[in-house]
Structure 1
């Protein structure tokens, strides 16, 4: 058994599960009479995994396709980072899983994105003044969301109104770093997590003031995107490890977590070498969706010169260096994928963990990013994140040691979700169900 808090491997342990809770963990515990006994000899038990950045509720039929994929990959919890669905429809899935009516990962959800007057995504809450920003927070609170998700085009005054109202309402707020707000301002305002490393390189640049002025002055949309591409070389050349370290220290002091979604940046940086048809789990994606992903990636390549794409790769290198500076400074990290887009739900998390390990995280640190750290971040340390008595019975049984190679989290023998045991045959049936769902929707144009 892997004790992710201490990093120890605890041998010859018996774990007793009663209902949806872990009842006992001991070297001497005996199975109750009439208990189902699982022989886990020579296997490794880890807490259930969390993907802390997904969009599993993007359409009303997405969950029945992706929930089986999450569970089959040991992902027993997800943080849904925004949906264009009516909030009641999105949260209905959260309730259905919590009540046991639907088999799926437990969910914490944002509902709709909070963005500016010209939002990036349809279905967002478009706010243009501080009162609208406060109303958006109040409305989402009334619906019962778990947190507020802020987005890239949120105006500066609206952002700080969201921060103030979220604090008043007792709601965490997370998300992108809006263009008009600096990383230090967001951290000081209490933004709980920053996703995708969004705009962080600006705060690491010795030319930050002039570059930010130019970016903010551009109109949201193609004009601003063009400015960002034009500034890429300047951001790479003016990257300051001293400024990066200063920002990292601030994040650590304020408790500003990072969900870097390394796989997202990697996919675009190496789009010339990636064949989405060969993704692990590609057979579980509707054909029209997979074709849509391919076309968007191809359009990305067509829309930029070879020189542009080279600078994108160099920007990715700087971001990877920034990740390590923040890790070494003690900034909190969690694993997230942005699934379901360009990487398959469930499968993408294992790819993210491998990228973390390749980038300098130890296997234990990577494993914590998908287990213990989400529990700490969500304030649910007493419920999950480690395998201890009294905690929710979400565990994954592996065929090999994840502390020697994080890639071993893919070698799944069985999953327990809320006390329900799913052996390899049951997991394979879930995958067969997902494949059938993908075939059924093969003619539906389905992608974000």
Structure 2
């Protein structure tokens, strides 16, 4: 059960009548279609015709049906005991699946045993890592190799690099490749992203993060790289003791609210040097390398925006904060105050880096670098679960990506990314009954993706009125993390 989402009475056999099906795979619009759902699968998609015996009818009225959305970088299960609020906001915004970017042995065990919370309308956990690789478990080559082996044994879907060095990152990647488990996450400051790509890293998060990727596209690369390599790892314990893992997660959670609050003046100079010496030819060469080695990118532009504009009224006065748990807001406001105390030059360098991030995203998209949408919701300051996915769509459009590319990044591309191509992400028979009914054409303008008339999750239908009621309940008792 859920505190916020009432069970739907429209399930079982459902006919969504007279819709235009928008296919993210080929960009085709097919009007006048009836979508019939049986249980949790799409049974048929045919020209509008005769009634279907025993079916609940949802009148589409010519509106647009698309596959429901995936968020490929979240931390929803950081608080598995209180995930209901975040899940409710995800449902209300058409998000039906996610990749959990910070796991634990306990989380993997709970998933294996089938005891993860499943409130009404909950999205599907599509993939999760085990513990982040940090100085605690990745401080040495032997330690990181052991950590990768243990996570593989415990059933992790991938390994997430959080805070490593080039030496430990590459050792982890080599062992992950040997075991056949994917590795992605944060590239360390002293690692050349081209080396990571050539050795088979699965995904790069947040365009780096930091200046690591941008050093590789600078005409003054050696200088930028030397400056960037001085960046220190977070102050995480490197020795194991009783309760160390819990202490590390507490430290990581505190830093994750907004890592930009720890930006040094030297790091700020590295941003300025990299951005001022950007070389488009080198950027295109890097993009071509990522294409060649299928090095996925999850830009999380909403995440880097909330970091680099950490004290902006745009985030501090966001009316959607009313859905967030009070203790989350206190952490966010504390972080914003800390950000505002950074030197003016540091904050200016962070703000100016935004243009470079948009330019890089567009360069990658134009080159065909594989990319998925992610938000870093649930723990990061200024990011509202569910709604943040639509913020990400806006930023991708700001970078210059077209509506079809954006739709693919949250539907068919996540399926390919997770090795489940053909298993979800389209409105065709046999696919999961996870659908979003839109009031406007999503192939004409990406903003149509937020104009939701209804959501079907696992064969159950919630109308716009139902979804608005969900939002009202969350606002009345804010509990999202």
Q: Do the two structures share a fold, i.e. TM-score over 0.5? A: yes
Describe the shift of the 1:432–1:263 C-alpha distance in structure 2 as closer, same or farther (beyond 3 A).
Answer: same
Determine the C-alpha separation between the residues in 2 that align with 1:193 and 1:30.
Answer: 47
Say whether the 8 Å CA contact 1:94–1:106 is kept in structure 2: no
C-alpha separation in 1, matches of 2:376 and 2:110: 17
Q: 1:379, 1:60 → 2: CA distance?
A: 26
Post-superposition CA distance 1:13-63 (Å, at most 9, x none): 111111111111111565542111111113110101011111111123341
Q: 1:156 aligns with which of 133, 152, 166?
A: 166
* 1:110-150 deviation digits (Å, cap 9, x = unpaired): 34443342xxxxxxx62122222122112112222221111
Aligned match of 1:325 in 363, 378, 391?
A: 363
| Match status 1:63 vs 2:83 | yes
Counterpart-to-counterpart distance in 1, 2:149 and 2:311: 44
Distance 2:308 2:231 in 1: 24
For residues 292 and 409 of structure 1, the distance between their equivalents in structure 2, rounded to whole angstroms, comes to 30
SS of structure 2 residue aligned to 1:267: helix
Within 2, Cα distance between the matches of 1:434 and 1:250?
45
| Corresponding position of 1:109 | 127
> How far did 1:437 drift?
4.7
State the match for 1:120 in structure 2: none
Q: What does residue 180 of structure 1 align with?
A: 190
- 1:337: which partner in 2? 375
Structure 1 residues 131, 85: CA separation in 2 closer, same or farther (over 3 Å shift)? closer
Could you say which residue in structure 2 is the equivalent of 1:402? 442
> Could you tell me which residue of structure 2 aligns to residue 243 of structure 1?
282
Question: Corresponding residue for 1:122?
Answer: none
Please tell me whether residue 44 in structure 1 is matched to residue 57 in structure 2: no
Gaps of 5+ in 2: 1-20, 236-261
Residue 268, structure 1, aligned to residue 301, structure 2:
no
Give the match's secondary structure for 2:359. helix
Q: Secondary structure at the match of 1:23?
A: strand
Structure 1 residues 270-325: Cα deviation after superposition (integer angstroms, max 9, x where no partner): 445434354253211012311321221231121221x3222222221112111111
The offset of 1:269, in angstroms, is 3.6
Distance 1:383 1:30, change over 3 A: farther
How far apart are 1:64 and its partner, in Å?
1.4
- Name the structure 2 match of 1:207: 220
Gaps spanning 5+ residues in structure 1: where? Answer: 118-124
The farther-off stretch of 225-234 and 329-338 is 225-234
2:202 to 189, 192, 199: 192
The CA distance in 1 between the partners of 2:73 and 2:44, in whole Å, is: 31
| CA RMSD between the two structures | 2.4
The TM-score with structure 1 as length reference comes to 0.89
**Aligned counterparts of 1:79 and 1:304: Cα–Cα separation in 2:** 36
Name the residue aligned to 1:145: 156
SS of the residue aligned with 2:229? helix
Deviation at 1:344, TM superposition (A): 0.4
Residues in 1 aligned to 2:297 and 2:268: alpha-carbon distance in whole angstroms: 23
Deviation digits for residues 315-341 of structure 1 (CA, Å, limit 9, x no counterpart):
211121111111111111111111122
State how far apart, in whole Å, the 2-side matches of 1:422 and 1:347 are: 17
CA distance in 2, matches of 1:188, 1:254: 6
Mapped to 1, the partners of 2:97 and 2:302 lie a distance apart of: 19
- Greater Cα shift, 78-87 or 381-390: 78-87
Going from structure 1 to structure 2, the CA distance change for 1:44 and 1:278 (only over 3 Å counts) comes to farther
Give 1:186 deviation, angstroms: 1.0
Pair 242,95 (structure 1): closer, same or farther in 2 beyond 3 Å: farther
Partner in structure 1 of residue 4 of structure 2? none
1:90 deviation in Å? 6.3
- 2:406 is the alignment partner of 1:366: yes
Moved more, 361-370 or 287-296: 287-296
Structure 1 residues 95 and 204, CA, compared in 2 at 3 Å: closer, same or farther? Answer: farther
The answer as to whether partners of 1:149 and 1:173 remain within 8 angstroms in 2 is yes
